[in-house]
Structure 1
Amino acid sequence: MILSIFLGIDIGTTAIKLGVIQKNELLYTTDLPLETYGDEQIKFQSGDELLGALTTGILSIPIRLRQQITSISFSTAMHSLMPDNKEKKIFLWSDLQAASTIDRFKQTRLAAQFYEITGTPIHAMSPFAKLLHFKETRQYTEVTHWYGLKELIMMYFTGRPFIDYATASATGLFDLRKKQWCGEILDYLGISTDQLAPLVDTDQSFEMLPELRTLFGFSKEIQVIIGASDGTLAAYASYYSTGRTASLTIGTSAAVRQITKKIQLDQKKQNFCYYLKEDLLVSGAPSNNGGIVLAWAANHLAENPALFYETLSELLKGTLPSANNLRFWPYLNGERAPYWSNKIKGGFRDLTLQHTRADMIRSVIEGILLNIRQLVELVAKNEELSVSGRFFQTAVLGELAADIFGTPCYYAPENEPIFGLYYLLEKPKKSINENKQVFLPDPINRDIYKKIAHNYFN
């Protein structure tokens, strides 16, 4: 019997990651950086550059391995929007052109209604918001076709643009219950379903264009499977490998996610709820302010930025919980959940002459984690967490996270979209490893942070 060899491709907002997997083992992996253009408001990537990087990445896989690949699938970043023209300009989730437009829309009765239909928070990140802005400013013709990262990739490999339910459910245009484009929302925007890509389920397979098979040296039997979105796949990777439905990833940004079988929405705090596969959804809440704020602290507050992470353990041992009653609001990058505001700002609160550099750094870390605690309580209250991301590679930060969240945190480095793709589509035998590194809350510190959390952001 020929064992399947799977190529997973994760297209994020900073890089493309490729992973070749067989029998749960990563045989080959590589990362290719992507350049983002624009300014403080406009954030976009070049579709042509992205496809060029992707081509280079696939060709870097050893030819003998490429010839054995039996299926290829894709994880793509959510909330991308690309007008289908010669420019191939892909606007990213971080593009804020629609900020003022969506702030006005939030005041209408339709805002709550559209959130309930789609499960997508009403925020400038969403393609809905961008389309509304482009309609108001008349930047594109009324007959423009609107795609995104997934459609661009599917066009490249199959000759036709398609989008999967998971990626579509993060656009703000998709009816989560009917699994189709929402006619009411499209009518409001003045566009038709013909201007969007056809919808398919996350396990839908296609034939690859013959010229692409030849270029990459793939076999004639290779299948192209559309896949899903990066956030839902990261959550599924955690669920499949640890058995825990709740997960937290802290990278540059952060997100708490929960695998669920029921649509879960909160009109006030606007958690997201996205499709994953026929019987599973992913509910969650994202933060703009994860490792990016820690990097800011390293660069601007540490005595030696190069040694910041190596000296954190000593710094935290030399300071006490609450950082001598100093608070830090981590909203240096605006914030999504639970505030959904681009105008909210960060900074120190109750700073005095008695506070030290160490107090300030500790308060930054506590502020980041106490903000994420709000998301944990919204999405996964009283649950153990599977955690991943570079943040948790520093053990002392994992320990502090467990104290602040008040729950065990199980470090699971395979919580990556590529493994989520592999588990979703290949369905390998589950092999839950309970010998993972676990961060357990200290009972005394847990109780201290529970009190601190009560009014930290008031």
Structure 2
Amino acid sequence: MILSVFLGIDVGTTAIKLGVIQKNELLYSSELPLQTYGDDQIKYQNGTVLLTILQAGILAIPEKIRQQVTLISFSTAMHSIMPADGRNQLFLWSDLQAAESIEGFKQTDLASHFYEISGTPIHAMSTFAKLLYFQESTSYPKDMHWYGIKELLMEYFTGKPIIDYATASATGLFDLRKKQWSGEILDFLGIKEEQLAELADTNQEYRMLPNRCDLFGFSNNSRVVIGASDGTLAAYASYYSTGRTASLTIGTSAAVRQTTKTIQLDQKKQNFCYYLKNDLLISGAPSNNGGVILAWAANYFAENPAKFYERIPELLAETEVGANGLRFWPYLNGERAPYWNNDLKGGFYDLTLQHTKNDMLRSVIEGVLLNIRQLVELVAKDQELSVSGGFFQTAALGQLAADVFGVKCYYAQQNEPIFGLYYLLEQPKLTIEESQQVFIPDPIKHAAYKQIAQDYFN
């Protein structure tokens, strides 16, 4: 498929990102913050507000560029669910209302069986867990229709609330092998297939509603491709632009992913395995604790939180590997892989009067990476990594990651979901970027981190 001008829309849990691409070149990009509502347990976005922000963001694209757009597609966050009750509450992966329900379900034989069917870990993040809780608590009528972020966007642009296979395969309701909603899982929940959205492959095209074309100044022949989920697309962008099948993304949260042609599941590890396209799947392990932990540390320990990332190279140069024996467990947000424990707590360990504020900051950074090192060992042991996400906005953290993991790390600007969408649809011929940064581990520092990692979380 040859695209003229492509508009990619990436709706995450903290922001909407827009990117206009032509012939592999980014013509325009913007980032629009999103607000999350709720409390310690309940986490949701307002779908009406989300669409209002998205509409304003598209209209802010220069008219000359908008007029050239011929196709749009979507990357959306996984595990969202929205009861179709008119309130447009989109419950996010971070919503923990289902924590108690899913812990009880984990003790049953069906837990491992449903994991094998869906490829989705049995955890409160999943759509399955949330529906289980809503059904048990009778929070909504039994005949309620259930949608998510992807369905909201598709209905807005095409008039049809449809979900793609990739996003559906992260719900815990989808049969990964049959590529359809699992009748067995839906029966267990007491839900009919008609209560969920229609399914479509990730490259399925639709005609855009004429009134949307008129509103945004798009061509009347503009088409909509349904797209995929942000995690699978980030992995695909990394694979496509760096040639590495293993990738690490650290944004607010983090995930290590492997691009594969076969279903890879492990009952003990509870890694995920999600559909991307007819010959590719994405397997991996997620962490709750990525950039959100550095943001917390910057707010409480940095002299100037706004310039924290700028100062990281200086901070790392002034402090020692291992932060003078200070350890930091980054589980301020509970944890998914490898523990799958919402109640896990974090904190400083072996803290003494001799430790400085800089030692504390370094230990926070090291703690985040040493925790992710466990996921690298699970998913991509001894493999070179493509790295992406806001965490790597300073090269010093790319180098530190290489030192901690002991493998080469490759960073390219195109390692983002919007480029994953573009590559998925156009399949352009790419030469691996000469401009990408390559971080080679320092053997002495890696040896030190390998030693530290042995009992860091004991």
Normalising by structure 2, report the TM-score.
Answer: 0.97
Aligned twin of 1:94: 94
Residues 312 and 60 (structure 1 numbering): CA distance in 2 closer, same or farther, change over 3 Å?
A: closer
Residues 1:317 and 1:64: Cα distance change in structure 2 (over 3 Å):
closer
- CA-to-partner distance for each residue in 1:177-221, whole Å, 9 max, x for gaps? 110101110000000100011111000001112222222222222
Which contiguous aligned blocks of 4+ residues in structure 1 show a shift greater than 4 angstroms? none
Alignment of 1:47-196 (within 5 A): 47-196=47-196
Determine if contact 2:273/2:283 at 8 Å carries over to the other structure.
yes
Q: How far is the alpha carbon of 1:164 from its aligned partner?
A: 0.4
Q: Which residue is equivalent to 1:420?
A: 420
Task: Kindly indicate whether residue 302 of structure 2 is the aligned counterpart of residue 302 of structure 1.
Answer: yes
CA gap of 1:454–1:161, structure 2 versus 1, over 3 A, is same
Deviation at 1:384, TM superposition (A): 0.6
Distance 1:303 1:192 in 2: 55
Paired residue type of 1:89: Q
Per-residue CA deviations over 1:31-79 (Å, capped at 9, x if unaligned) read 2222211111111111111111122122222223222211111111100
Cα separation, 2, equivalents of 1:369 and 1:236? 22
Q: Is the 8 A contact 2:80 2:92 kept in 1?
A: yes
Write the letter of the residue equivalent to 1:331.
Answer: Y
Displacement of 1:306 in angstroms is 4.3
- How far is the alpha carbon of 1:303 from its aligned partner? 4.0
Q: For residues 310 and 60 of structure 1, do their structure 2 counterparts lie closer, same or farther at Cα, with a shift above 3 Å needed?
A: closer
Q: Map Cα deviations across residues 336-368 of structure 1 (whole Å, 9 max, x no partner).
A: 111111100001122222322222222111111
The equivalent residue for 2:39 is: 39
The 10-residue stretch of structure 1 (434-443 or 367-376) with the greater mean CA deviation from structure 2: 434-443
Q: 1:303 to 1:16 in 2, by over 3 A?
A: closer
Displacement of 1:130 in angstroms is 0.4
Which residue number corresponds to residue 283 of structure 2?
283
**CA shift for structure 1 position 286:** 1.1
Give matches, 1:360-379, under 5 Å.
360-379=360-379
Residue number in structure 1 paired with 2:457: 457
Residue 10 in structure 1 maps to residue 24 in structure 2: no
How far residue 394 of structure 1 moved from its aligned partner, in angstroms, is 1.7
Deviates more, 1:207-216 or 1:101-110: 207-216
Residues 311 and 34 of structure 1: is their aligned pair in 2 closer, same or farther, counting only changes over 3 Å? Answer: closer
Q: Is the 8 A contact 1:98 1:133 kept in 2?
A: yes
1:324, CA displacement in angstroms?
2.0
Q: Find out whether 1:209 has 2:221 as its counterpart.
A: no
Q: Which amino acid is 1:192 matched to?
A: K
Q: What secondary structure, in the 3-state scheme, does the structure 1 residue paired with 2:323 have? A: coil
Deviations 1:288-345 (A, max 9, x none): 1111111222222234434433333333223322222221111011111111111000
* Partner Cα distance (1:309, 1:4) in 2: 37
Task: Please list, as runs of the form range in 1=range in 2, the aligned pairs for 1:432-443 lying within 5 A after superposition.
Answer: 432-443=432-443
Cα-to-partner distance string for 1:206-249 (whole Å, 9 max, x where unaligned): 11122222222222221111000001001111111111111111
Q: Partner residue of 1:396?
A: 396
Partner AA of 1:104 in structure 2: G
The CA distance in 2 between the partners of 1:187 and 1:125, in whole Å, is 21
**SS in structure 1 opposite 2:48?**
helix
- Secondary structure (helix, strand or coil) at the match of 2:285 reads strand
Deviates more, 1:309-318 or 1:195-204: 309-318
More displaced stretch, 145-154 vs 314-323: 314-323
Q: Flag the 1:209–1:303 CA change in 2: closer, same or farther, 3 A.
A: closer
1:34, 1:135 → 2: CA distance?
Answer: 28
How far off its partner does 1:3 sit? 6.1
Give the aligned CA root-mean-square deviation in angstroms.
Answer: 1.4
Distance in 2 (alpha carbons) for counterparts of 1:387 and 1:202 = 24
Q: Which residue of 1 aligns with 2:406?
A: 406
Residue identity opposite 1:347 in structure 2: G
Partner of 1:199: 199
Instruction: State how far apart, in whole Å, the 2-side matches of 1:34 and 1:304 are.
Output: 24
Match of 1:250 in 2: 250
Structure 2 CA distance, aligned partners of 1:325 and 1:291? 23
Q: Structure 1 vs Structure 2: percent identity of aligned residues?
A: 73
Q: Which residue of 2 aligns with 1:259?
A: 259
Structure 2 CA distance for aligned equivalents of residues 392 and 108 of structure 1? 41
Question: For the residues of structure 2 that align with 1:3 and 1:244, how far apart are their CA atoms?
Answer: 25
Equivalent residue, structure 2, for 1:341:
341
Using the alignment, how far apart are the partners of 1:218 and 1:297 within structure 2? 44
Distance 1:403 1:219 in 2: 50
Q: Which residue of 1 aligns with 2:24?
A: 24
Distance 2:394 2:61 in 1: 31
CA distance in 2, matches of 1:9, 1:283: 23
Q: Secondary structure at the match of 2:414?
A: coil
Cα distance change, pair 360–144 in 1 and its aligned pair in 2 (3 A)? same
Q: Please report how far the alpha carbon of residue 161 of structure 1 lies from its aligned counterpart in structure 2 after TM superposition.
A: 1.1
Partner amino acid for 1:242? Answer: T
Q: Deviations along 1:395-421, whole A, 9 cap, x unmatched?
A: 222211111100111112211111100
Alpha-carbon separation, structure 1, partners of 2:306 and 2:30: 26
Q: Which amino acid aligns with 1:226?
A: I
Q: Secondary structure at the match of 2:397?
A: helix
Which residue matches 1:269?
Answer: 269
Gaps of 5+ in 2: none
Count of matched residue positions in the alignment of Structure 1 and Structure 2: 457
Residues in 1 aligned to 2:45 and 2:208: alpha-carbon distance in whole angstroms: 25
- In structure 2, the CA distance between the partners of 1:158 and 1:312, relative to structure 1 (3 Å rule), is closer
**Where do 1:304-343 residues align within 5 Å?**
304-343=304-343
Contact 1:79 1:127 survives alignment (8 Å): yes
Partner secondary structure for residue 324 of structure 1: helix
Distance, in Å, in 2 between the alignment partners of 1:307 and 1:215 is 39
Question: Residue type matched to 2:90 in 1?
Answer: I
Specify whether residues 183 and 440 from structure 1 end up closer, same or farther in structure 2 by C-alpha distance, changes over 3 A only: same
Structure 1 unmatched ranges of 5 or more? none
Opposite residue 327 of structure 2, the aligned amino acid is R
Task: Tell me which amino acid in the other structure corresponds to 2:120.
Answer: T
Amino acid at match of 1:231: G
TM normalised by structure 1 equals 0.97
